[in-house]
Amino acid sequence: MTMTFPPFSGVVRRLVLINVGVFFAMLVLGVVARNMAATLEGYLVLQPYAVAHGEVWRLVTYSFLNLGLTGTLFGCLTLWFCGSILESSYGGRWLAELYLVATIGGAALATALSYTHVLGLGPSNESVGMWPALFGILIAIAVRFGDLEFMPLFPLRFTIRAKYMVAIYILIYLALLLGGGDRFGALTVLAGTLCGWLYLKFAPRRGLGFGLSEQFYGVRNAWYRAKRKRAAKKFEVYMGKQGRQVKFDDQGRYIDPEEERKDPNDRKWMN
């Protein structure tokens, strides 16, 4: 264990700066125009009823509304330290996808579950904060770097493995969900954790964007191959009508008659 700070760059830096920027912007707006700040916040928080009636931007914007200096500070530090580990190992695009999947997926799942009215939940509940996305990152740390040791309560000098630390955090939010308090907020965090785990389980190793691009280019190349084979077939028929015979292979590539007549066992051309 060392106290060196990880690199502050890439997607991690952009996400931290966005969260800090939004926090201070809302703070200043609350001082200058309190009513406007309250109105704007009302349009950005996660509220299941509003989402169900078309205000789908809330599935993203709630994650950048961080209330309280302490929560914002610890959230950004967690994003910096844990996000840097994942970004250095899997790349910035992979980390950005994980962050968004946990953010949007957790919000959508919590929104759907709120309509079941279990545990006193309801569509009028509200939630804000980056912690659903951060728990998506934390579950990735627990799964991929479970034996990595963290110091969870600085400056107390003791360490704990990542998989145990994340398990404790999950149990705390599960207790909040079952025992009372901010149940919808706890549900959103747990849903974000689940969505992060599902991303790790089923997404391609290099990310959804890379996997989709591979599928797209695979379909495109298959279409080009089929088009080339059809053109080769038409050309064979046309040349046959002209009294000449040409051949193509099963991929639509032209077969040179001279090359076809060569003996594959002939080694005269070799020194």
pLDDT at residue 163, as a whole number: 93
110 or 237: which leads in pLDDT? 110
Structure tokens at 85: 């580990």
Q: Residue type for 140, please?
A: A
| Selection from 112-121, 185-194, 241-250, 258-267 with the highest mean pLDDT | 185-194
- The answer to whether 125 and 140 have CB atoms below 8 angstroms apart is no
| Distance in angstroms (rounded) separating the CA atoms of residues 208 and 214 | 10
User: Cβ distance 129 to 63 under 8 Å?
Assistant: yes
Torsion of CA 130, 158, 85, 132, to 10 degrees: -20
Higher pLDDT, 152 or 84: 84
User: Where is average pLDDT lowest: 1-5, 21-25, 247-251?
Assistant: 1-5
pLDDT score for 180: 79
Give dist(CA 19, CA 62) in Å, integer: 11
pLDDT of residue 221: 72
Q: How far apart are CA 64 and CA 216, in angstroms?
A: 32
Domains and their CATH numbers in the chain: 10-203 (1.20.1540.10), 223-261 (no CATH)
Tokens at residue 83, please? 């996000």
pLDDT at 215 over 70: no
User: pTM (2 decimals)?
Assistant: 0.76
What's 236's DSSP letter?
H
pLDDT, the chain, mean: 85
| Partners of 160 in beta bridges | 150
pLDDT, residue 1, reads: 44
